[in-house]
Amino acid sequence: MKSAAPGKVYLVGAGPGDPELLTLKAKRLLETCDHVVYDYLVSESLLDWTRPDCQKHCVGKRAGFHSVPQEEIERMLVRLSSDGKTVVRLKGGDPFIFGRGGEEALTLKRAGVAFEVVPAVTAALGCAAYIGIPLTHRALSASVTFLSGHEMPETGGQTASVNWRAHAATGATLVLYMAMGQLTEICAELIAGGRPETTPVAVVQWGTTPRQRAVHGTLTNIGERVRAADLGPPSVVIIGDVARFGDTLSWFDPVI
């Protein structure tokens, strides 16, 4: 008996939220795949592009709530790709920027499953653009650093894996993912590391979508302003002199 053709998994970035920021390759794969394994942050309108017989698997994954453990997601990708099936693992933002795509790719590699990575507009780029903040500017910032503010279990629930004071001294634009739970503490560390208290900060929630909201402030008051506005995840924090442009170059008018 002839064995079934091997399947394939595509680790596809869904972008920051606006469906029109999806790549053409990602759209083509959604239109032709057998299975879609998607996250909570993915716009469900993207699923409308799939075939009627495509099987859809929601695996949740949001701050403080994982409906399916990461290890089970990885096992699912291996299982679904058997018998020649094509699987799209649809992930919010870009798969390889705080998306755990590297872990999934390693599991697929070890299991002998063919895979491809389809990059996307990551949240930092999308949110900054939609709020009118250039992450680099010839006169203000020649570098950008992406950082995770997520509590790491291996550090006892602290962000000790990130030396905030060292990053304060670089002068780079800082873009923080998953930092809402420790925003005030992180800002204090940056000030202790030498960043001026008056450094502009912008926080963007649900960026690039009709639900987009933004709060502006400085390292000293952004935590208080975020609490007053009741902003929570998913949010991106932009720290640096370029954040001041959010007051003048904002062009996106979200309609809720």
Q: Is the pTM of this model over 0.75?
A: yes
Q: What's the mean pLDDT in 87-93?
A: 97
pLDDT bucket at 211, cuts 50 / 70 / 90: very high
Mean pLDDT of 149-164: 63
Q: Average pLDDT of the chain?
A: 92
Q: What CA–CA distance (Å, rounded) separates 227 from 88?
A: 37
Among 3-12, 165-174, 196-205, which is the least confidently predicted range? 3-12
State both tokens at 71.
């290890």
Inform me whether the pLDDT recorded for 61 exceeds 70: no
Contact 252, 131 (CB under 8 A): yes
Q: Return the domain boundaries, the chain.
A: 8-118, 123-247
Instruction: Summarize the confidence of residues 16-42 as an average pLDDT.
Output: 96
What is the distance between the terminal CA atoms of the chain, rounded to a whole angstrom? 57
CATH number of 8-118: 3.40.1010.10
**Residues labelled as active-site residues:** 39, 61
Residue 100 CA to residue 186 CA, distance in Å, equals 23
Structural domain 123-247, CATH architecture: 2-Layer Sandwich (3.30)
Measured in degrees and rounded to the nearest 5, phi and psi for residue 38 equal -125, 160
pLDDT of residue 40: 86
What are the distances in angstroms from CA 63 to CA 21, 147, 163?
Answer: 23, 16, 22
- Least confident among 94-103, 151-160, 181-190, 239-248: 151-160
**What is the mean predicted confidence (pLDDT) over 96-106?**
96
pLDDT value at position 150?
A: 79
**Least confident window among 1-5, 46-50, 200-204, 222-226:** 1-5
Range 68-75 average pLDDT: 94
